Structure 1
Amino acid sequence: MSTVNTVTEQLTRAGQAIEHDSFAIIDAEVGPHPYDAGQWPIVRRMIHANADFDFNGLTRFHPRAVEAGVQALLRGGTPLVADVEMICSGLSAPRLAHFGVQAHHFISDADVIEAARAEDSTRAVQAMRKAHRLGLLDGAIVGIGNAPTALIELVRLVREAGVRPALVVGMPVGFVSAAESKALMAEVEAVPWIVIDGRKGGSTLVVAAIHALLALAEARQRQGTAAG
């Protein structure tokens, strides 16, 4: 039986070969790393997305992060809430559809913009608040790759409003509050998270991490089907 995932792999043999060869090069060149068998495929795909080995070490995981993400996908119908449209555009629609995942972002909604102007806050803050009002955050996978204020607001909602996402992939990039927002998320025990220490981050890394989780979930699915 093939060990290649049918949904979360490249669609052609040539594409699969290039991706697998890239992963093999990363494995050969990365050197020692602290990640377990569930965490490493996520970090490796993040390295692959940016050709940056610094993510070996900068990437941190809540103890339950990988299992929480995989289980959320396997449940089916889990919402995915992103801070920006770029994450939703970067995610593979067929891979999301396989698990019944619908991606949401509210950063450009008129009511979000109006609220941000009225309260002198950011659109990212108001977008997280809208997701909460709509009941989308509890049990969701939340991906934040651009806006530190979105991650800070999400931490506030976890602490003050009892919001409980299934997993937070918190990787905002930048120079103002980016490192601080991720450090704040890493202090949360009640909600699983994956974060990057420091200023590095970005939507491409969130997409890479979620694609890796989708691949892990499909592999788990295949194992269950084979066992049954």
Structure 2
Amino acid sequence: MEFEHVKPMDIEKRSMEIIGQELAEMGISLPADKAHIIKRVIHTSADFDYAQTLTFSEDALERATDALKQGASIITDTKMAWSGINKRALENLGGQAYNFISDEDVAAIAKEKGCTRAAASIDKAANLNGPLIFAVGNAPTALIRLHELITEGKLKPALIIGVPVGFVNVVQAKELIMETDVPYIVARGRKGGSNVAAAICNALLYNLDSSRGAKKP
């Protein structure tokens, strides 16, 4: 068995090269403005299906970029997604990452309303000031609650990253988000996860973070 000798600092770069080569072998050409996001999701998941299923609203990247430049807050539905976001890159742009899933008031609201904590945490996040980016990688109920607040005119997110994974209401919740006029990045179908949500956030951040040098693929 032979191993490829790669310096630790070059592993990510080499991984992206391999992803690009394999996509080319599959005959898949990624849109230039979205390639850095799709490749980072593939890098995180080792799943090339995302080259076909990751779906962007027409103005998603422009609106997300503007929001991040204005110091947007990123709200996640899980601690895992929150942990995976590069906080330094976000703070360099004046933003913060939040996760309210373990907050006592969120637990109390969820119990009172008979809903999930993920849904209750969306209500708490709706009170934050400034542009809001929601990164949902686990709970379709969070997407459903976002849709309700948007429909009621109570919330206008700068971007929704809708990539929950699973079988119950996952596909339906993603489709709901794609019916709104809110910018979105959605992984169609059942696949997704907190790691995918964080990867998309980081791809957006790294494209703006000059401290990382040239734009990441």
- Given the alignment of the two structures, is residue 29 of structure 1 paired with residue 22 of structure 2, yes or no? yes
Q: Residue 186 of structure 1 corresponds to which residue in structure 2?
A: 178
**Structure 1 portions without partners, runs of 5+:** 1-12, 224-228
Over 3 Å counting, the alpha-carbon distance change for 1:43 and 1:203 in structure 2 is same
Paired with 1:21 and 1:80, the residues of 2 have a C-alpha distance of 29
Paired with 2:180 and 2:28, the residues of 1 have a C-alpha distance of 24
Q: Residue 104 of structure 1 corresponds to which residue in structure 2?
A: 98
Identity of aligned residues (%): 38
The letter for the 2-side match of 1:177 is N
Which of 19, 30, 48 is matched with 2:12 structurally?
19
**Structure 2 portions without partners, runs of 5+:** 1-5
Paired with 1:140 and 1:120, the residues of 2 have a C-alpha distance of 26
Which of 117, 120, 128 is matched with 1:126 structurally?
120
Which residues in structure 2 correspond to 1:22-171 (within 5 Å)? 22-30=15-23, 31-33=26-28, 35-75=30-70, 77-132=71-126, 134-136=127-129, 139-171=131-163
The letter for the 2-side match of 1:38 is D
Over 3 Å counting, the alpha-carbon distance change for 1:34 and 1:67 in structure 2 is farther
Q: How many residues in Structure 1 have an aligned counterpart in Structure 2?
A: 206
Deviation of 1:34 (Å): 5.9
Deviation of 1:80 (Å): 1.0
Secondary structure at the aligned position of 2:109 is classed as helix
String of CA shifts for 1:36-83, please: whole Å, max 9, x gaps: 2121110110000011111111110001111111221222x2111111
The letter for the 1-side match of 2:171 is A
After TM superposition, the structure 1 stretch with the greater mean CA deviation from structure 2, 169-178 or 66-75, is 66-75
Deviation of 1:15 (Å): 4.1
Paired with 1:168 and 1:16, the residues of 2 have a C-alpha distance of 32
TM-score, normalised to structure 2, is 0.88
Tell me, yes or no, if the aligned pair for 1:34 and 1:57 is still in contact at 8 Å. no
Over 3 Å counting, the alpha-carbon distance change for 1:69 and 1:222 in structure 2 is farther
- The runs of at least 4 consecutive aligned structure 1 residues that moved more than 2 Å come to 13-16, 31-35
Q: How large is the RMSD of aligned CA atoms in angstroms?
A: 1.9
Paired with 1:129 and 1:15, the residues of 2 have a C-alpha distance of 42
The letter for the 1-side match of 2:90 is L
